[in-house]
Amino acid sequence: MDLRQLRTFVVVAEAGGFAAAQQQLRLSQPAASRQIQGLEDELGIPLFDRVGRGIKLTSEGEDLLRRGRRLLQDAESFGERARALRTGNAGALRVGCSTQHMETVLANFLPSFRRKHPSVVIELVEDGGARVPDRLQRGDVHLAIIPAADDGYHRRLLAPVHVLAAVSPRHGFASRRKLEIAELAEESLLLLRRDFASRGWFDAACNIAHVRPRVILESAAPHTLLALARGGNDVAIVPSNVQIPASVHAFPLLHRGASIGRWTAVAWDPQRFLAPYAKSFIDELVAYCGKHYPGRKFAKHVSPLPRPEETKG
């Protein structure tokens, strides 16, 4: 089987069409179409239905898409292992994480790592915190900074992330060091969108506490929420790994005395080969976060979050 044809099939299927996949493939639409046709001829089954000017996966195509991704991942792992066995210290490392982790962790960590490992190319893949695990599952990234969960991935813990409430200095909560989530029942709230992991933690806590939040804005930009909270009487709900300006007062949210949040980890798929330089990245990132992780001061006012198990090897 021609892996170029297989990659074209996977990219076109994920993009939803030839035009959307053209830039990633760097192929003209007729050339990509010929590759798909060649793969269909070899397999003896149609992979796409042609609907007008568009295409749609057939049932056979849907079944083979997941298997095709795995084949491409295995082929990439084969090449990565060969390169690592040859040199052990050079190659590309794709790291997936949220915007907040790029801003408050990697922006300061990467310059030092790059000085120590000049032959390692770090490629960053940005996505919402709730979607980054999907990137790891699909093989889009080698490592992902994600909330620690019982998901089958290997991981090393970085630091706890707490859900915070942020208000202006004139707000009635401005003198608080922590706040029970039930006290937000009558407040107007500024929330992150649902593709943020911390939004899911907040929503779950509201459900358990039987709180129906009064949401006046959902945004993809934490700093927008903080700016609006600073200038008004609304409460912004953000994770503790966001940079909090001195012009607002932030404090952890609790449910029945327990902080709302989750440990963050750097995770990888144990079924994929992990190059030696990736292991160096993990070790150095864990050491860095042990000293410099954002939001550490908020842990002083609450009981520790449950510490998940981690993979040492």
Torsions phi, psi for 118 (to 5 deg): -65, -20
Instruction: Report pLDDT for 153.
Output: 92
Torsions phi, psi for 35 (to 5 deg): -65, -40
Domains and CATH numbers, the chain: 3-84 (1.10.10.10), 88-159+262-301 (3.40.190.10), 161-260 (3.40.190.290)
Instruction: Report pLDDT for 116.
Output: 94
Task: Please give the Cα distance from 133 to 179 (Å, whole number).
Answer: 30
- Sequence-distant (≥ 6) Cβ neighbours of residue 9 within 8 angstroms: 35, 36, 39, 47, 61, 64, 65, 68
Q: Which residues pair with 74 in a beta bridge?
A: none
Task: Please give the Cα distance from 145 to 268 (Å, whole number).
Answer: 9
Task: Please give the Cα distance from 251 to 185 (Å, whole number).
Answer: 17
- Whether 245 and 230 have beta carbons less than 8 Å apart is answered as yes
Task: Please give the Cα distance from 96 to 136 (Å, whole number).
Answer: 8
Per-residue pLDDT of the chain (313 residues; tens, 9 = 90+): 789 999 999 999 988 888 888 888 888 888 999 999 999 999 999 999 988 778 899 999 999 999 999 899 888 888 877 776 676 678 889 999 999 999 999 999 999 999 999 889 999 999 888 889 999 998 899 999 999 987 889 999 999 999 999 999 999 999 999 999 999 999 999 999 998 999 999 999 999 999 999 999 999 999 999 999 999 999 999 999 999 999 999 999 999 999 999 999 999 999 888 888 999 999 999 999 999 988 888 888 888 999 999 886 5
Helix (H, G, I), strand (E, B) or coil at 237: strand
Instruction: Report pLDDT for 51.
Output: 81
Task: Please give the Cα distance from 142 to 163 (Å, whole number).
Answer: 27
Instruction: Report pLDDT for 312.
Output: 63
The residue among 278, 288, 289, 287 whose CA lies nearest residue 120 is 278
At 136, list the tokens. 């790891």
